[in-house]
């Protein structure tokens, strides 16, 4: 049983096959199938504390501080109180824990929202409303129009004829075009008869739960008969019911077993590369700490043996210490406690505060706020900010992320004339915007009010009864598989199986050729106000090989015509020779359309002779009923009749991109970020969007298409592509090939390889399945990563995650995945950074993401501004923090040689307590929260500034060693200059000043001023806050020093404040201030000199860009004109048509027809009638 989310009892066996009975919960419960509740959270009430602490103690530093705490509890070696470690450790763990708890609470909330959705379940012959989480395998549930599908269901019956149900699968594969599912005839007869549905006791045997979205096999046994089940009879969780009043389904898979959840991936604990590097550095520091403690312990052993042993009368050994070696052993641990400040716990508190602060900047950024749906940007995870400044690969979904999921009829070419552009009085083409005058379709009562077109010359051609224009729109109103719905007269709704078809039929409708109704044998069109009924004689259906569809119709006048639309590359081969001149003109227009990234189709027609058609239809009937070679015979007949076509023109549909997508992609490419598009869409559609949003362009050397159907084919295609891009990569002398030979078992990291030009790669989901296999994955990574752009089409959600995982595995690069649907969740969870777009496809992606916003274009600001600033700030913080703590701590090390290695601290204990907490915490936080090398505008104008983050140049092991050496050098200066200045020194009044307390005060004053000057040198962007923090910290230091070293504090707390009068006696001496000035100069001047010479003699690319920006600031550039990104295209087909094979046969059979619409043959209008004349154009 399940108790508080924990499972007890025997371990469940792996499911091999699923067996269930409809309406029999008792039978199904014996198999312990999962119920329909889902869980995306990581913790529950009982597991939060142990799991969260386990995750936090994976940080080596946290484990180290726990170890220190244990040491401090041992009185023999403890030189500091236990609470100095407990309080900050508990604080760090609590802050991180609370943050993780809030994140997980939000996940629990979203799970609860989904699990508590209502659904109607058939129980004891009645429909009862139940929560989603209470639905079980074997239940029969009722869904209604626009409902989300509750679980993976076997469709039993529906309101549509023949048990058809229309669904939208946007959440699964990103496609918004309708798909049709059909119930078995034997179950379709059940209808909505609750008695019959209750008595239904079919037994299902099917495959075990899996993540294959396009495959399902099983059998239904009912009354002794067996029926085959396949994917066409399944409604999957994540789909939405459309244009279907109701349907009943039998739950096959529930909750975590559904294909959607099987594809969703696991929630992983994400840590940044800087976190991982800090773990390594902390280990290095531990080793360095151990070495220092060992040296000092050995020194103590030798000193105690040679001197301390004979000195016990004055300085007795501690109780229990009876030998010099034992004293040395204890001193080792005492020094571990004293020198632990090389890794102070305040480092981790500060890191969390900096990340939190930079996360708020993202939340508050008005330039990432989308007012149309009131959506601000949101940093949902606050621990990954600096990694936003190191992204090398972006994996993006297409539908809803790059595109708006809206198809618009944008332009067309009719009889050699292009329509769609708008010109001014001088004949110059003008940009279309909100103020451009739209064509007025109000004269047409059946027009779609949402349709917009701007070229008035086209409506004029229609109204002047131009024959080619009428024929063009007549073709668009007849040649399709759209289903009309007219519940109220004149209120037409089209159920388009493809969004492209919907756009074309809507265009014809607005221009006066209204597709009104259809039956299996007829199509009713209202042509310019006159209702005409065409006989539908044949549909020559679309498929991926033909890339075209045709209809053969007979007009009311008895004329037989074949209308055809399809890809230009295909249709041009089928045209009559007389069309050659028109073909050239249309090709020019097609090039222009394709250059703008529009989806194009060519349309043509052919008049048929009655005798020839009768013979052809007879042969067609024979072929369609043939038992062998049916497809080939039909294909031959289609080829025969679809020749000598007369060209009419071409259509151009815009798959509307989100605002600013091409510009964003262009900017990110300049920042050396590679973009991969992973989409469930078909190849042509994906490539078309690739061109329209500037991912692919005709300046590329080549775009490789990987579409092999076997493992060997895919391997050859990948290798051929690599051979073209970099022939040297096949030589034995190639660096990576040598690495492969050496490291057969070790994990290989593939360095970046440069191709001999700019290339793109397109790979289909089927080929990708082979390429992701063990022996091909290296080949895929090498080839794909050489390309500037990679597009993977027809990929499943799991494949998306596998592609991301592959790049993470073989490339030393930070990855980001961005999407808006449930099909992107696994990819978002797998990448180092997951970004969700709160779009039209629900909130699944946002709920699983680390960052979210409403528009793709905000990604450039997230990375180039917030990401880069966060990375630079974090790197500066770490460099400074390690430097100041090495400088602070190593003075103890040098002091050990002058204090008998006795583990005595060089500083006053109050200074040690307050150094990281008060004196140096605020200036470094000020820099880490407000610093910026350039402002946001320049960050966006010069994306090249982003590159150092990708290469991790600002903080790495080499930079750390430099900080360490600078810290060691500063500690030497800070110890020996005051030591030399104090040695045998007299005050001006002749009194001695060379005492321990004066020396300690001088050292700590030098140290604090030096680190304050250093942070001033590191700060690029001065604000009032920075000034206040730096000067304020120094003022607070002197105020506290004079206070705690005063007579009054000594008199009140004699034991706690022994440094009576030291401040006023020491800091009043000029020679002390001269020594302090000398220490500061010796610490700071080498740093200033090194930085100056490096910038002059060996500037980094970033230095060069910053110099350009300085020059540009002196003479501000004129504002860049807003331009529309257009592509000049060589001959390339802009064909893209998302259509499903088999719809034509479905229409001709009449299985998806409802009773005839009462409005189908009524309601005429004439654009030339008096009623509409005054509204004309």
Catalytic residue positions?
Answer: 397
Q: Rounded CA gap, 1160 and 526, in Å?
A: 9
Per DSSP, the three-state class of 895 is helix
Q: How many CB atoms lie within 10 A of CB 1112?
A: 13
Nearest Cα residue to 594 out of 1124, 1135, 1137, 1125? 1135
CA angle at 545 for the pair 540 and 548, rounded to the nearest 5°? 40
Q: Rounded CA gap, 1146 and 166, in Å?
A: 13
Per DSSP, the three-state class of 501 is helix
Q: Rounded CA gap, 785 and 1066, in Å?
A: 65
Alpha-carbon distances, residue 1031 vs 119, 913, 923, 1028 (angstroms): 65, 20, 9, 6
Give Cα 473 distance to the centre of its chain: 42
Q: Are 602 and 652 in contact (CB under 8 A)?
A: no
DSSP notation for 762-777:
EEEHHHHHHHTSTTTH
Kindly state the helix (H) or strand (E) to which residue 306 belongs, with its residue range: helix 273-306
The contacts of residue 695 (CB under 8 Å, 6+ apart) are: 665, 675, 677, 689, 760, 789, 791
| Positions of E strands within 33-163 | 118-123, 126-131, 140-144, 152-158
Give the 3-state secondary structure percentages of the chain, helix then strand then coil, rounded to 5.
50, 20, 35
Which sign does the torsion angle of CA 116, 121, 123, 127 carry?
positive
Q: Are 1037 and 919 in contact (CB under 8 A)?
A: yes
Q: How many residues does the chain have?
A: 1177
Q: How many CB atoms lie within 10 A of CB 191?
A: 16
Half-sphere exposure in the Cβ direction for 1155 (13 Å, CA) = 3
Q: Rounded CA gap, 785 and 729, in Å?
A: 13
Kindly state the helix (H) or strand (E) to which residue 1170 belongs, with its residue range: helix 1170-1173
Give Cα 1095 distance to the centre of its chain: 37
Provide the b/e sequence for 446-462 (b: ≥16 CB within 10 Å): bbbeebebbbeebbebb
Nearest Cα residue to 220 out of 210, 209, 206? 206
* Start-end of H helices in 839-867: 844-847, 858-861
Nearest Cα residue to 439 out of 421, 426, 424, 458? 458
Which residues pair with residue 206 across a beta bridge?
Answer: 18, 218
Alpha-carbon distances, residue 170 vs 175, 688, 941, 1035 (angstroms): 5, 19, 36, 62
* Start-end of H helices in 701-824: 711-725, 735-742, 765-771, 777-786, 797-810
Nearest Cα residue to 837 out of 420, 479, 502, 380? 380
Q: Rounded CA gap, 236 and 213, in Å?
A: 8
Which residues pair with residue 522 across a beta bridge?
Answer: 535
């Amino acid at each position: 049983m399940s108790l508080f989310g924990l499972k007890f009892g025997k371990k469940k066996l792996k499911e091999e096959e699923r067996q269930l009975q409809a309406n029999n919960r008792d039978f199904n419960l014996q198999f312990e199938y999962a119920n329909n509740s889902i869980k995306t959270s990581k913790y529950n009430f009982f597991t939060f504390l142990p799991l969260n602490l386990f995750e936090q103690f994976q940080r080596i530093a946290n484990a180290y501080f726990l170890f220190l705490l244990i040491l401090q509890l041992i009185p023999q070696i403890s030189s500091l109180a236990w609470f100095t470690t407990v309080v900050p450790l508990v604080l760090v763990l609590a802050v991180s824990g609370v943050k993780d708890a809030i994140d997980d609470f939000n996940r629990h909330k979203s799970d609860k929202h989904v699990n508590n959705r209502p659904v109607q379940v058939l129980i004891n012959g009645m429909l009862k409303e139940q929560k989603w989480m209470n639905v079980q395998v074997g239940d029969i549930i009722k869904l209604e129009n626009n409902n989300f599908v509750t679980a993976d269901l076997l469709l039993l019956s529906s309101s549509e004829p023949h048990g058809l149900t229309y669904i939208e699968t946007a959440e699964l594969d990103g496609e918004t075009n309708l798909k049709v599912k059909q119930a078995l005839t034997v179950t379709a007869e059940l209808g909505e008869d609750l008695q019959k549905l209750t008595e239904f006791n079919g037994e299902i045997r099917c495959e075990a739960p899996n993540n294959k979205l396009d495959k399902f096999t099983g059998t239904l046994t009912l009354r002794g008969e067996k029926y085959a089940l396949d994917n066409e009879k399944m409604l999957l969780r994540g789909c939405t019911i459309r244009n279907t009043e109701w349907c009943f389904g039998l739950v096959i898979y529930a909750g975590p077993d559904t294909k959607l959840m099987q594809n969703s991936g696991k929630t992983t604990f994400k840590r940044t590369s800087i976190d991982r590097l800090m773990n390594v550095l902390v280990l290095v520091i531990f080793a360095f700490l151990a070495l220092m403690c060992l040296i000092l312990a050995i020194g103590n052993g030798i000193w105690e043996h040679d001197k301390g042993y004979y000195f016990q009368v004055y300085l007795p050994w501690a109780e229990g210490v009876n030998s010099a070696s034992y004293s040395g052993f204890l001193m080792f641990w005492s020094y571990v406690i004293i020198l632990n400040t090389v890794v102070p716990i305040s480092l981790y508190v500060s890191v969390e505060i900096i990340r939190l602060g930079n996360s708020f900047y993202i939340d508050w950024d008005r330039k990432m706020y989308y007012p149309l749906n009131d959506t601000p940007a949101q940093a949902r995870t606050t621990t990954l900010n600096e990694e936003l400044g190191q992204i090398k690969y972006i994996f993006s979904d297409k539908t809803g992320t790059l595109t708006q999921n809206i198809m618009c009829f944008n332009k067309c070419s009719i009889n050699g004339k292009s329509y769609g552009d708008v010109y001014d009085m001088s004949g110059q083409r003008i940009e279309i915007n909100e103020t451009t005058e739209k064509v007025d379709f109000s004269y047409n009562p059946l027009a779609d009010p949402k349709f917009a077109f701007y070229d008035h010359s086209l409506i004029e051609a229609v109204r002047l009864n131009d024959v080619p224009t009428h024929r063009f729109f007549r073709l668009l109103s007849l040649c399709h598989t759209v289903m009309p719905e007219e519940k109220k007269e004149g209120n037409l709704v089209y159920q388009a199986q493809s969004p492209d078809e919907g756009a074309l039929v809507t265009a014809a409708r607005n221009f006066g050729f209204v597709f009104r109704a259809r039956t299996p044998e007829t199509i009713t069109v209202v042509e310019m106000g006159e209702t005409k009924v065409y006989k539908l004689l044949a549909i020559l259906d679309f498929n991926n090989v033909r890339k075209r569809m045709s209809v053969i119709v007979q007009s009311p006048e008895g004329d037989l015509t074949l209308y055809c639309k399809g890809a230009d590359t295909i249709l041009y081969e089928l045209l009559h020779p007389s069309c050659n001149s028109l073909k050239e003109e249309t090709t020019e227009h097609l090039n222009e359309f394709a250059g703008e990234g529009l989806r194009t189709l060519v349309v043509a027609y052919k008049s048929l002779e009655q005798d020839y058609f009768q013979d052809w239809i007879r042969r067609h009937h024979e072929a369609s009923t043939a038992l062998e070679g049916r497809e080939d015979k039909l294909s031959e007949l289609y080829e025969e009749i679809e020749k000598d076509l007369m060209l009419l023109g071409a259509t151009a549909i815009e798959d509307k991109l989100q605002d600013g997508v091409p510009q964003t992609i262009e900017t990110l490419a300049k920042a050396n970020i590679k973009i991969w598009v992973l989409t469930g869409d078909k190849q042509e559609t994906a490539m078309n969007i690739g061109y329209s949003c500037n991912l692919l362009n005709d300046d590329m050397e080549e775009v490789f298409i990987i579409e092999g159907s076997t493992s060997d084919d895919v391997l050859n295609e990948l290798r051929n592509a690599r051979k073209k891009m970099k022939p040297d990569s096949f030589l034995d002398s190639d660096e990576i090939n040598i690495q492969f030979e050496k490291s057969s078992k070790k994990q290989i990291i593939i360095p970046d390889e440069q191709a001999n030009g700019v290339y793109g790669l397109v790979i289909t989901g089927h080929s990708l399945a082979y390429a992701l296999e063990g022996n091909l994955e290296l080949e895929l990574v090498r080839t794909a990563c050489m390309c500037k752009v990679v597009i993977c089409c027809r990929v499943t959600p799991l494949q998306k995650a596998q592609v991301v995982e592959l790049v993470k595995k073989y490339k030393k690069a930070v990855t980001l995945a961005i999407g808006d649907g449930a099909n992107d969740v696994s990819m978002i969870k797998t990448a180092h950074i997951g970004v969700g777009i709160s779009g039209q496809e629900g909130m699944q992606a946002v709920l699983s993401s680390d960052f979210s916003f409403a528009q793709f274009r905000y990604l450039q600001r997230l990375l180039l501004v917030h990401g880069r600033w966060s990375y630079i700030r974090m790197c500066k913080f770490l460099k400074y923090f390690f430097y100041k703590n090495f400088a602070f701590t190593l003075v103890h090390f040098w002091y050990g040689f002058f204090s008998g290695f006795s583990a005595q601290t060089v500083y006053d204990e109050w200074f040690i307590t307050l150094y990281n907490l008060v004196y140096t915490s605020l200036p470094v936080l000020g820099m880490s929260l407000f610093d910026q090398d350039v402002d946001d505008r320049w960050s966006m104008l010069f994306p090249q500034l982003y590159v150092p983050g990708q290469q991790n140049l600002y903080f790495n092991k080499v930079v750390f060693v430099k900080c360490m050496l600078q810290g060691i050098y500063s500690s030497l200066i800070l110890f020996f200059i005051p030591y030399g200045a104090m040695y045998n020194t007299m005050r001006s009044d002749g009194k001695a000043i060379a005492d321990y307390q004066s020396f300690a005060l001088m050292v700590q004053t030098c140290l604090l001023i030096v680190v304050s000057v250093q942070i001033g040198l590191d700060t690029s962007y001065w604000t009032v806050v920075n000034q206040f923090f730096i000067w304020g910290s120094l003022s607070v230091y002197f105020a506290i020093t004079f206070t705690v070293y005063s007579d009054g504090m000594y008199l009140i707390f004699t034991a706690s404040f022994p440094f009576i009068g030291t401040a006023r006696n020491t800091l009043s001496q000029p020679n002390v201030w001269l020594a302090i000035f000398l220490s500061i100069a010796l610490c700071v001047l080498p740093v200033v000199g090194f930085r100056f010479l490096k910038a002059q003699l060996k500037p980094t690319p970033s230095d060069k860009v910053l110099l350009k920006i300085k020059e540009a600031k002196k003479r501000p550039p004129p504002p860049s004109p807003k331009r529309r990104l257009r592509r000049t295209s060589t001959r390339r087909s802009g064909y893209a048509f998302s259509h499903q094979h088999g719809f034509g046969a479905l229409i001709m059979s009449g299985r998806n027809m409802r009773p005839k619409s009462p409005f189908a043959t009524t309601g005429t209008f004439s654009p030339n009638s008096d009623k509409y004349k005054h509204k004309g154009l």
